[in-house]
Amino acid sequence: MAEEKEKGASPEEMRAKRARRMRTWSRPALAVALACAVGTTGMFAYFTDEDEAVNKFTIASDDLGVVVEEPGWDALPDDDGDGVPDAAQDMVPTQWVTKDPKVTNTGESAVDAYIMATVSVPVADVTYVDEEGEKVEGKNVELFTYEFLGGDWSEVGQPVVKDGYAVHTYSWGKVLATGESTTAIFDKVSLINLVNDQGQAGAKQIVVSAIAIQQEGFDSAEDAWAAYEGQKAALAAGGEVVQP
């Protein structure tokens, strides 16, 4: 039929008709090809989602607190109200007076701490009578004595004489939680057996100091104390403390 319809047509008309048929057939093929291309591109649009976990931390305030308490000393009568118990005024050689320093962790944040304490006893070059009754002429002699009670306290090293005092250092063997207290380092003091006053009459002080150092980051009180002393030395020398 197609051949009959095309009878009488010139060769140019026949070629034109065939060209039009080819263009018509190629359009659906092109459309399919484009559709496939779009579909292939869509395969790379993966299902995705995002989330994050935000971990919140709070930093303890720098309020690690420590207090030296002396309940026995504080309970002694002070009739003249001068802040010095009557029993500690005008002491004579070998007289004992209650003095019972202990340390309490008073920090408001729940920061456990290692505790160190220093006891500074005044020294002088004096003559005294020792426990054997022998007269001794000494240099940097501690004017007061006390009986170290031990327990969880231990003395660190030997006393160091500095600025007119013999400084004893003690370490508490446990971690001290907020609100907890140590036992007393000692519970009484005595004036040594001086031979006359030798110019020592007048006010004297036994100074008890406590240092609380955070427990976190240290294996022992001694390690914490070493770091503390190193920090003090660096700062005193005008340097900077480098955090680990």
**pLDDT tens digits for 50-69?**
444 444 344 444 567 888 99
Task: Determine the topology of domain 66-236 in CATH.
Answer: Immunoglobulin-like (2.60.40)
What integer pLDDT is reported at residue 43 of this predicted model? Answer: 43
Q: What is the pLDDT of residues 139-167, one digit of tens each?
A: 999 999 999 999 999 999 999 999 999 99
List pLDDT tens digits, range 86-129.
999 999 999 999 999 999 988 877 788 889 999 999 999 999 99
- pLDDT given for residue 181 in this prediction: 95
pLDDT of residue 12: 61
Top mean-pLDDT range of 45-49, 216-220, 240-244: 216-220
Output 197 or 72, whichever has higher pLDDT.
72
* pTM of the predicted protein model: 0.71
What's the confidence (pLDDT) of residue 221? Answer: 84
pLDDT at 156: 92
Q: Which tens digit of pLDDT belongs to each residue from 184-218? A: 999 999 999 999 888 888 888 999 998 888 888 88
Give the residue with greater pLDDT, 219 vs 37: 219
Give 218-241 pLDDT, tens digit per residue.
Answer: 888 888 888 888 887 877 777 554
- What is the distance of C-alpha 151 from the center of its chain? 25
